[in-house]
Amino acid sequence: MKKDFILILDFGSQYSHMIARRIRYMGVYTLLYRYDISISYIFSKNPKGIILSGGPFSVYENGSPSISQDLFQLNIPIFGICYGMQMISFLFGGKIEKSKHKEYGKSCFIIEDDNNLLFNGIPRKSIVWMSHFDEVKKISKEFKVLGHTSSCPVAALRHKNKEIYAVQFHPEVENTEFGISILKNFIFHICQCKSSNWNIDNFVQNAINKIKKRVEKKKVILGFSGGIDSFVTAYIIYKAIENSLICIFVDTGFLLEQEKENILFLCKKMNFPLQIIDAKNRFLSKLTGIVDPEMKRKIIGKEFLSIFQKVSVTIKNVEFLAQGTIYSDIIESSIFSNSNQNQLNYSIKSHHNVGGLPKKLMKLKLIEPLKNLFKDEVRQIGKKLGFPMEILYRHPFPGPGLSIRIIGEVSEKKISILKKAENILLQELKKNDIYHNVNQAFIILLPIKSVGVMGDKRTYEYVAVLRVINTEDFMTATFSHLSYDFLERISNRIINEVDGINRMVYDITSKPPSTIEWE
Ligand code: XMP
């Protein structure tokens, strides 16, 4: 059955992925694309509706991202959000200017004209989330104002004859009281999408069929990290091609204590054939002298790939490399987050674990069955497949492992210090029933030392950071509000039991503005 599809053009807003998640929750399939994909490509995707996201730009500035006016001739309903609204107005001849006061936070939105589908069932006054510098000062005569706030006279508008709507606020953000209803009105009433077409029930079978057809009699190696994403990926590929799948687990030397043994155990439980490659010395020597986080990641990505390529030539008939890449990896690494947007090529999907190698050197063809799913969707699949708790709710562990939790240069000594500290944290989280109430917890070893006193003696040791977060999709996160007693216990145990750390601090930042890992 053909799925109803909503296409989101991303102009770089920190909330763009939230639009996608909200629509997926409604049971409608959607994907984010960079704003500059061609009109013919958009048309070929046959979307039932198009959403233009917000973004940090000003439409009147030279070189700011824009779209072709041909988009408005496609006769597909369009919904502009924030920058998306300013751009629509601008392209139709309206006037956009910097507003006197930056409007950030909650505002009271007042509907002036409720004779439209977008605000169907929405009260005349409601709270919306604003985050903008610019605003629409004058609209073209083809448009009509639908609502305002006290400091923004044009907070919503629509085209008089076309299905083009726009709002200055962010309906995708929780703080917009009726945001979901507004999005639903657009998706179901204006675009007339049906909700049952996209769900995860038929996802697994479709993915298995596709892989079977694509791989035929060839072999696939899978970069297996031991997280839920790689387990679900392995399951799907294994069902498709059985023993033509070879799972490769690389021991980088940057693993947690007992990590390798745990993964072996779980793989046995799931019946997946696993090959372990010991590359500890190789990774450590490549990182000697390297301080820059991006350099570390690139070197590690390159090493991973070169290992996979080497393995692939030792096994006959290997033509594919599979990875548990998920949608957030793709969004975070390839849309706007790598700062120099002009140099980004949307077709190169850099993955955390394969950064750094030019595509043409990559002889293996990629298989990434989960690349359009969010983490919670992958978990739902795992649950449906009957995966055990230890796999479903394992905290994620990044491919570069402890190397990106040791800020600055990595050394054997620092790895050993961090491993011990992480192990204590894990024990305490489990002992106190906290492990499953938080989504990720780890320690970061800082490259600075501080003075302490132990047993009446001066110490001069490293500072370590405790990072514990709660999140649904790892794209936004809040630090976990742990009890002082628990924090104290962790701090005491680590300082008493781990030689090399004499001070612990707790990271109380959210994502954004920080990221979850420190590097
Ligand atoms: P950040 O630090 O980007 O992390 O907020 C989001 C989530 O991704 C994990 N992460 C990685 N996972 N390879 C991975 O497999 C990586 O290079 C990598 N970097 C970050 C991170 O632990 C968090 O769960």
- pLDDT tens-digit map of 467-498: 999 998 787 789 999 999 999 999 999 999 99
Nearest-angstrom CA–CA distance, 85 and 169: 9
Ligand 1 contact via 398 beta carbon (within 6 Å): yes
Choosing from 82, 152, 191, 247, which is the catalytic residue?
82
Ligand 1 contact via 341 beta carbon (within 6 Å): no
Nearest-angstrom CA–CA distance, 330 and 323: 12
Say yes or no to pLDDT of 515 above 80.
yes
Ligand 1 atom 9 nearest Cα = 398
Active site residue 170: yes
Ligand 1 atom 22 nearest Cα = 398
Active site residue 436: no
CA of 122 to the centre of ligand 1 (A): 39
Confidence of residue 345 (pLDDT cuts 50, 70, 90): very low
Confidence of residue 407 (pLDDT cuts 50, 70, 90): very high
CA of 112 to the centre of ligand 1 (A): 45
CA nearest to 56, candidates 332, 328, 336, 327: 336
Say yes or no to pLDDT of 95 above 80.
yes
Nearest-angstrom CA–CA distance, 256 and 5: 41
Ligand 1 contact via 352 beta carbon (within 6 Å): yes
Say yes or no to pLDDT of 75 above 90.
yes
Confidence of residue 101 (pLDDT cuts 50, 70, 90): confident
Mean residue pLDDT of the chain comes to: 90
Active site residue 247: no
Mean pLDDT (whole number) for 402-411: 98
Tell me the CA distances in angstroms from 245 to 76, 220, 234, 435, one per residue in order.
43, 5, 8, 32
Say yes or no to pLDDT of 335 above 60.
no
At residue 14, the pLDDT reads: 79
Say yes or no to pLDDT of 359 above 80.
no
At residue 134, the pLDDT reads: 93
CA of 160 to the centre of ligand 1 (A): 45
Ligand 1 atom 7 nearest Cα = 474
Please report how many Cα atoms fall inside a 13 Å half-sphere around the Cα of residue 239, on the Cβ side. Answer: 15
Sign for the pseudo-dihedral over CA of 448, 450, 454, 459? positive
**3-state class of 320 per DSSP?**
strand
At residue 196, the pLDDT reads: 67
At residue 338, the pLDDT reads: 43
**Of the ranges 230-239, 351-360, 400-409, which one carries the lowest mean pLDDT score?**
351-360
Mean pLDDT (whole number) for 37-63: 95
CA nearest to 31, candidates 407, 320, 330: 330
User: Which two three-digit tokens encode residue 74?
Assistant: 């496609």
CA of 326 to the centre of ligand 1 (A): 11
Got the DSSP string for 247-270?
EEEEE-S-PPTTHHHHHHHHHHHH
User: Which two three-digit tokens encode residue 309?
Assistant: 């390529």
CA of 226 to the centre of ligand 1 (A): 14
Nearest-angstrom CA–CA distance, 135 and 154: 8
Nearest-angstrom CA–CA distance, 73 and 91: 13
Percentage of residues of the chain with pLDDT beyond 90: 76
Nearest-angstrom CA–CA distance, 58 and 77: 24
Mean pLDDT (whole number) for 401-416: 98
- Over residues 380-398, the pLDDT tens digits come to 999 999 999 989 999 999 9
Query: pTM for the whole thing?
Result: 0.79
Contact indicator for 200, 159 with CB cutoff of 8 Å: no
Confidence of residue 336 (pLDDT cuts 50, 70, 90): low
